[in-house]
């Protein structure tokens, strides 16, 4: 990413949410700030629950021309008419997902703190690679993605990268020149005012 370009916002849903309340929260955020993509990241493996959540979020994202991708379940992505899938196993499922979804779908991959895994995912055909967490997070083993990964990636690799997990205003300001997207989730949804929380988090760019 060039110094002139601003990173974009990539929203990540909570792992569990109220189907009656969350779509309204999401709509408020999308109306307040330009967002490139929303990821449905439910912890549930219940297919009916996931499908109902996807339908509810699609009713919010589609009229606003915002892409909607789903965690892991690329077969559901196709069936539900979503824009693509976010894979959490690095490069391992990228080719399979691409074959299933076709060339126009979004296929993204999470590479943790591994530049090598990110490169493998890119070579396998992912549209973006996510690294993280950036700060302390209960979802990982304590290892965080180093700033140097993004610095190197922005200079050497054309595939867009996402910084996600444990973001703070300070980290966002530091990373803004070297990442293409910020994956924002708990940082705003755990706040009573997600719109205000996002504005504060991204005030450095």
Mean pLDDT of 72-101: 94
> Cβ distance 152 to 131 under 8 Å?
no
Tell me how far apart the alpha carbons of residues 189 and 126 are, in angstroms, rounded to a whole number: 27
pLDDT at 139: 54
Q: Which two tokens stand for residue 26?
A: 């999401």
pLDDT at 136: 75
pLDDT at 3: 42
* Domains of the chain, earliest start first: 8-201 (3.20.20.70)
Burial class of residue 11 (count of CB atoms within 10 Å of its CB; 0-12, 13-18, 19+): buried
> Cβ distance 143 to 176 under 8 Å?
no
pLDDT at 138: 57
SS (H, E, C) 95-120: HHHHHHHCCCCEEEEECCCCHHHHHH
pLDDT tens column, 12-46: 999 999 999 999 999 999 999 999 999 999 999 99
pLDDT at 191: 95
Q: Which two tokens stand for residue 64?
A: 């606003």
pLDDT at 2: 38
Tell me how far apart the alpha carbons of residues 90 and 116 are, in angstroms, rounded to a whole number: 10
pLDDT at 140: 53
Q: Model-level pTM greater than 0.75?
A: yes
pLDDT at 205: 85
């Amino acid at each position: 990413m060039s110094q002139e370009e601003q990173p974009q916002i990539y929203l990540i849903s909570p792992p569990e949410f109220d189907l009656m309340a969350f779509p309204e929260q999401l709509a408020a955020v999308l109306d307040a700030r330009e967002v490139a993509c929303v990821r449905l990241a439910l912890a549930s493996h219940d297919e009916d629950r996931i499908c109902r959540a996807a339908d509810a979020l699609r009713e919010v994202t589609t009229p606003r021309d915002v892409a909607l991708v789903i965690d892991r379940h690329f077969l559901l992505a196709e069936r539900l008419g979503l824009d693509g899938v976010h894979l959490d196993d690095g490069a391992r499922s990228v080719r399979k997902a691409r074959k299933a979804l076709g060339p126009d779908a979004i296929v993204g991959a999470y590479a943790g703190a591994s530049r090598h895994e990110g490169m493998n995912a890119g070579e396998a055909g992912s549209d973006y690679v996510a690294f993280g967490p950036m700060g302390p997070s209960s979802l990982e083993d304590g290892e965080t993605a180093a700033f140097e990964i993004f610095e190197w990636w922005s200079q050497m690799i054309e595939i867009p990268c996402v910084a996600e997990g444990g973001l703070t205003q300070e980290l966002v300001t530091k990373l803004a020149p070297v990442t293409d997207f910020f994956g924002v989730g708990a940082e705003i949804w755990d706040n009573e005012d997600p719109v205000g929380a996002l504005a504060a988090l991204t005030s450095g760019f």
